[in-house]
Structure formats: C-alpha cells, structure tokens
C-alpha cells in the first residue's frame, strides 16, 4: 500500500540513492522501522520522459543484495525455468498484469493519464524474461508475497536486509 512521502522520506531516499529522487508519488514499501525501501514513481517524469519502473528499489541493502544475486547468473537460470514451467510462467504473467494495473493507479494518483509509450511494458523483463531483479524485488516488496514469484524468490535469497513492514 502506497503512503504519501513526507519530506523526511524524500530526504532519506535522497541519501539512499545519492541523488534527488525523480517523480516520487509515494512510498510503496517500508521497513518495520519505517524507513523507505521502495518508492512509487510516476509513469512520466517531470521532464516528460516515460518511466515504466513504477516501483523503484531504494534501500542500499536490498539494492546490494539484488546485485549480488544477479551476479550469480540467476536471471538466465530463472528465464530458462520460465520457458519450461507453465505454472511459473502463468504466475509471472499475472505479476506483469498486476504491475500494469498498479502503474495505472500510481499514474492516476500523480494526475497523469495513460502513457502510451509504455502501455504494455512493465519492468524487470516481465512477462517472459527475468531481466532486472531490482525491479522485481521492488514489486514484491510493494505488492506483498504471492504476487511476483520471481521477486519473491529473490527476496528469499537475501541476507542482511531490514525486514519489510507488512504490505
């Protein structure tokens, strides 16, 4: 559930990213301690650029763990698994559709209509590939367990990350 971003949240995200955050509509996931883990981002940035990544992973521990898991070749393995596992592929396609619905809701909250350039494009390689675990983990943290099977898997492999608050 997205919550409004306070100035303290935006300052925390800026410190996490090392730069000003762009297009933040709200905080999509927090740690149990209340710190931002994921921001919800408008589908069109203030400069007019289409931005398909509705859920942007900001917390450095999660970012580092997603990078670590990616470096072990899991994306290629999981993409191959998607091709051969009908149940996994079906669940991943459902995650893609959920992501598109969420992005439309985030866009509506930001006062932005449909962004045609990215209308059918979600993030992280969905619905047929595993391309960016950062995006998939962000989706899992924002949506909660059971929505994105690949993001959930990646979360299960992470160590030394702050526990998320209930979605």
What are 100-146's pLDDT values in tens digits? 999 999 999 999 988 999 999 999 999 999 999 999 999 999 999 99
Tokens of 47: 């400069």
Would you kindly state where each structural domain of the chain is located, as residue ranges?
A: 3-157
Residue 166 has pLDDT above 90, yes or no: no
pLDDT bin (cut points 50, 70, 90) of residue 167 is: low
Provide mean pLDDT across the span 28-43: 98
Greatest CA separation for the chain: 46
Where residue 32 falls among pLDDT bands split at 50, 70, 90?
Answer: very high
> Is residue 103 classed exposed, middle or buried when 0-12, 13-18 and 19+ CB atoms within 10 A define those classes?
buried
The mean pLDDT value for 51-78 works out to 98
Q: Tell me the pLDDT band of 31, cut-offs 50, 70 and 90.
A: very high
pLDDT of residue 113: 82
């Amino acid at each position: 559930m997205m919550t409004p971003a306070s100035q303290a949240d935006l300052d925390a995200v800026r410190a996490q990213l090392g730069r000003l955050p762009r297009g933040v509509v709200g905080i999509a996931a927090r740690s149990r301690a209340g710190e931002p883990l994921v921001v919800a981002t408008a589908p069109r940035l203030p400069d007019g650029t289409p931005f398909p990544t509705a859920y942007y992973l900001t917390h450095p521990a999660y970012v580092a763990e997603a990078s670590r898991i990616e470096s072990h070749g899991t994306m290629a393995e999981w993409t191959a698994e998607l091709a051969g596992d009908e149940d996994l592929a079906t669940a991943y396609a459902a995650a893609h559709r959920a992501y598109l619905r969420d992005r439309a809701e985030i866009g509506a909250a930001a006062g932005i209509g449909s962004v045609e350039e990215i209308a059918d494009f979600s993030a992280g390689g969905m619905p047929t590939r595993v391309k960016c675990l950062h995006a998939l983990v962000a989706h899992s943290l924002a949506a909660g367990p059971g929505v994105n099977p690949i993001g959930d898997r990646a979360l299960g492999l992470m160590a030394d990350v702050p526990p998320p608050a209930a979605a």
